[in-house]
A and B are shown apart, each in its own frame.
Chain A
């Protein structure tokens, strides 16, 4: 029998970890990030969250950490899990077990996560999204869904690193090359940044 896992690991197209240095910011593909998504029927929301996470769901535009996994609001009755792959898998299984009927799935293969970090990270993102991601409006832990150019995007502001803002954007994996390419075109010409 063919071993697709080994074949895939040998495939440089998958194992590569592209990272791009741009003026004032860095792009890093988070290839190993576990990404899960779940939907719950209205009547199962509170009990499922209390059982699996020990707390209420995050408010719209908000998130919380469960262990090292970030649980983010996506839409009414929809949430996103991002974190260490095994932990995300465990949570998906727990949700499926606890809720009488949940649509919980690993979407790691369907999505691409890109970490945008740096003093000019906001400028880079502001070239492609109409979201207000200023420091006072979009704080650490805030999440949002918006357009990034021509594609849909989930954006989370992670905790700053030494005062440098970090954003995690998650898009459909087929658009990852587009996103990296178009972010990489960001040029901080004179007058472009505050």
Chain B
């Protein structure tokens, strides 16, 4: 234990103590702490175990770049895996636990893996586990790897979405961000200022230096207060800008309740914003770069800026005896701040020969500066005990510095992620040893540290200039000194860590290069460098520098891996928003939904509609209910709500010509008041949809589509009219949900419809099969089509939607004495299979041409062209082994065939060389035997042939037959 709480100072509220549990033990902190700062203040050094080798890990950073402090937050359904302790605001009664450690963090059995590191370097899994096979090892590897665990139950939280439009979005609220937001707001533009942290201020929250002549805290308070007062400024803290997309779209994740105790949380946990911005000012700051040396992953090694933040913002000292390792001036600032907080600065090890004024300041504080020197190795297992340093020019002249903490300051990497996501270029700055934002492709500009401007006055000045679209003046680069580069094969590379969470060392990079993974993208995948939850925010640039040294190519030539959203992990719930449960894919309800449910319907989702599968009576199975419904329709009358059937009005002088071009069938000759079956293809000649279209008037058609497909067909119509046939005078309107449709089917259907009451002559002569009539039913206007998908006398009665439920009730009442029976989708499917009727989507797939389902002669008769015709005539469409839709009858007593079963020749002995498959399969209550339809190679010419049917290892015997199993002559339709 080395960390401790300072007696005073920091921005925490010492009047509000909080208790929390970590790894089963109780600790205390203060309001304003993060879990990380509270653990540090309580002297916790080891906070996690690394992903692969289970090595001890302590805190390295204080922000979202933290690679080590990964925890499991809370328990049960509320648990969240792999949260960064540095991003968790402490609240009362918080429960957090370490991850990737068993049985405990201090005694982790799997840490034994660390001793075998030499045998399991980067990408070992590509070279091992070959014998006997991968699956033998997989369960063990999966158990050994991984960090936290996902909750087992559903997420109890809710999430929200919000869209916004703003003239200027400012990302980041450090000095540059605040100055830019103020300047933009002064110009009268609408501004959104977002900050990922709970507090606005960025680096201002952890600095002692004055800003524009005022204390940093006063300067910050003044600007924040002023911005909050402005009506044209929206200030949002706890809001992470995580994605910068095309056309000025920036995605934000706002944390609404994560900072509250569980019991006090109300409403959505997080809100995902999609903000369309006129302009984006990126004041995203910079991440400090660590300095690599052997043993640099031992707890107690931390970024200098993080230590400064813990000390000045959170009142938590990371250690008592501190060595600062640096190659630039910022390390001195951290050393001075920690010294002021009571820590002993053992030495500042600076790789530069001449440090100028900061070295003089150190001398005035009696802090020892070791110039032109670098760290070589650390000692200590649970916590660092000493650091070995040596002059860069004489590495054998070593000195051991006793310490409990090592702070590294290797320079700064501007947070260029959003700039790069937006399409902006990057350029490597040799002086800074960092990638800087270069040419933007959108109206966006980086300011302050995000642009590589680290001098406070210059950063503020550049931000104000950028806000006013003025060019920023030239700024002297923030130059850094050298770092010690390990030679290829140097044993120290085995213990010199680059990626702390994923356990990638300098030696791993060297191995990757030796094995020809020289592209930084390939190296990333091979070694997993930069693929952890921190996405390489502290490891990428040092790794690129290492790669640069190995390849002898400048970093600019190597480039970076692609920066992709999200900048920082975002919850899946945030992306889902309110689209969960019933609202994931909203289902349409039938007009008589309540009556259907009251009648015992088992409602299921079919094509975006909630429809009755069947109507089970007490004691019935689904199969029994379906059989009863089928028999009722065949013997008397059934009632079916068919409202989801697509209904599209097509009107205009060229309506007939348009439909003639869209359908396989001929349209021109259709008489007014008559219906015709229509088969529709896509441009590839594949069967796309079918339905019945009726001619209402010479220039007016009502086109039917399959259920749930109306919107797609209407869109297809409009696409052809707008893009290909703009000369046709045709208007299209999808009216599906304006008309409720009740289907009366069965020998008594006409009687029931008469009983309900209509002014339409229903006699067979006046209203024959495949006819359309308009009139009134039950006193309201109605459209009736005498069409049938059951093979029985059938009327599809359409009334304005609001009368649908009343029509259902009226039909039910009128049919009571005839035993009218409501029937569902499943009974309808049984009846259409009995009739051998095609069901597009079930009996067709993405390769089915019309000639495969019996429409070859119809196409030959039609002289006009239509969509898809040419495609059906390609060689593939003329192959004689095409799969064709036929019937199948089983020869054995094995019940119905499974849909999807493969059909093979009668002499097949193994399941190879399938000739097709079962597309529909039912038990026929009328015929008392299983029936099936199948797509089988050369099926039309094989009627009567025996075949074998295979399904998951089981063989059945069947015979190819004509699919018109029931009433093949169609006599019942004319009833």
- Residues of A whose CB lies within 8 Å of any CB of B are 1-5, 7-8, 11, 13-14, 37, 39, 41, 77, 101-103, 105, 107, 109-110, 123, 126-132, 134, 137, 149-151, 172-175, 177-178, 181-182, 185-187, 189-192, 194
Contacts and interface: CB of A to CB of B under 8 A. Distances in A.
Contact of B162 (A1, A7, A105, A127): A127
A8 B803 contact: yes
Point out which of A126, A150, A174, A187 has the most chain B C-beta atoms below 10 A from its C-beta.
A174
Contacts of B231: 194
B492 interface: no
B268 interface: yes
A32 to B, nearest CB: 11
B484 interface: no
Contacts of A174: 588-589, 609, 737
Given A191-B256, A192-B271, A177 B589 contact: yes
A8 B729 contact: no
Given A110-B738, A189-B271, A190-B256, A137 B799 contact: no
Nearest to A131: B163
Interface string B254-277: 101100000000111001001010
Nearest to B813: A2
A151 B699 CA distance: 31
Given A39-B733, A41-B729, A132-B276, A4 B586 contact: no
Contact of A105 (B578, B653, B733, B777): B733
Contact of A187 (B268, B583, B653, B739): B268
A103 B801 contact: no
B160 A187 contact: yes
A37 B733 contact: yes
A101 B876 CA distance: 43
Interface of B: 158, 160-165, 231, 234, 236-239, 254, 256-257, 266-268, 271, 274, 276, 578-579, 582-583, 585-586, 588-589, 594, 609, 649, 651-653, 699, 729, 731, 733, 735-739, 756-757, 777-780, 799-803, 805-807, 809-810, 813-814
A185 B161 CA distance: 11
Point out which of A8, A151, A173 has the most chain B C-beta atoms below 10 A from its C-beta.
A8
B594 A178 contact: no
B233 to A, nearest CB: 9
Contact of B588 (A8, A102, A105, A175): A175
Point out which of A109, A173, A187 has the most chain B C-beta atoms below 10 A from its C-beta.
A109
15 contacts: A1-B757, A3-B778, A4-B779, A5-B806, A7-B803, A7-B806, A7-B809, A8-B805, A8-B806, A105-B733, A127-B578, A187-B266, A189-B266, A192-B271, A194-B231
A11 B807 CA distance: 12
A123 B806 CA distance: 38
A14 B578 contact: no
A191 B270 CA distance: 12
Contacts, number: 151
Contacts of B582: 178, 181
A107 B738 contact: yes
A84 B799 CA distance: 21
A110 B736 CA distance: 8
* Chain B residues touching A, majority SS: mixed
Contacts of B256: 189-192
Contact of A127 (B160, B649, B778): B160
A101 B276 contact: no
A150 B162 contact: no
B158 A103 contact: no
Given A129-B163, A134-B165, A194-B234, A182 B578 contact: yes
Point out which of B254, B267, B609, B810 has the most chain A C-beta atoms below 10 A from its C-beta.
B267
Given A2-B810, A4-B779, A190-B256, A101 B738 contact: no
Contacts of B807: 4
Contacts of B271: 189, 192
A129 B583 CA distance: 15
Contacts of A7: 778, 803, 806, 809-810
Contact of B801 (A11, A102, A109): A109
A152 B513 CA distance: 53
A5 B803 contact: yes
Contacts of A192: 162, 256, 271
A42 to B, nearest CB: 8
Nearest to A152: B711
Contacts of B594: 13
B588 A41 contact: no
Nearest to A178: B586
B778 A191 contact: no
B787 to A, nearest CB: 22
A135 to B, nearest CB: 11
Contact of A101 (B729, B739, B779): B729
A167 to B, nearest CB: 14
A150 B161 contact: no
Given A11-B805, A178-B582, 12 more contacts: A4-B810, A101-B651, A101-B653, A109-B738, A109-B801, A110-B737, A126-B162, A127-B160, A150-B579, A174-B588, A175-B586, A191-B239
Q: Which 8 A-B pairs have the closest CB atoms?
A: A1-B757, A110-B738, A174-B588, A4-B778, A7-B806, A178-B586, A109-B801, A187-B267
A107 B735 CA distance: 8
Contacts of B652: 41, 101, 103
A63 B778 CA distance: 37
Contacts of B803: 4-5, 7-8
A101 B731 CA distance: 9
Given A109-B800, A137-B165, A174-B588, A2 B805 contact: no
A151 B274 contact: no
A74 B729 CA distance: 19
A99 to B, nearest CB: 11
A4 B814 CA distance: 13
A121 B261 CA distance: 30
Contacts of A123: 162
Given A4-B807, A13-B594, A132-B276, A151 B586 contact: yes
Contacts of B653: 101
A63 B609 CA distance: 34
B560 to A, nearest CB: 31
A132 B248 CA distance: 14
B268 A126 contact: no
A149 B583 contact: yes
B666 to A, nearest CB: 23
Contact of A185 (B239, B276, B578): B578
A1 B778 contact: yes
B737 A130 contact: no
A76 B416 CA distance: 44
Given A8-B803, A41-B652, A149 B589 contact: no
A191 B651 contact: no
B518 to A, nearest CB: 43
A185 B801 contact: no
Given A8-B805, A41-B731, A191-B256, A105 B779 contact: no
Contacts of A175: 586, 588
Contacts of B800: 109
Contact of A149 (B579, B756, B757, B813): B579
Contacts of B585: 150
Contacts of B757: 1-2
A131 B777 CA distance: 43
B62 to A, nearest CB: 24
A1 B267 contact: no
Contacts of A194: 231, 234
Contacts of B738: 105, 107, 109-110
Contacts of A131: 163
Contacts of A107: 735, 738
Contact of A130 (B274, B731, B779): B274
B276 A130 contact: yes
A178 B583 contact: yes
Nearest to A137: B165
Nearest to A194: B234
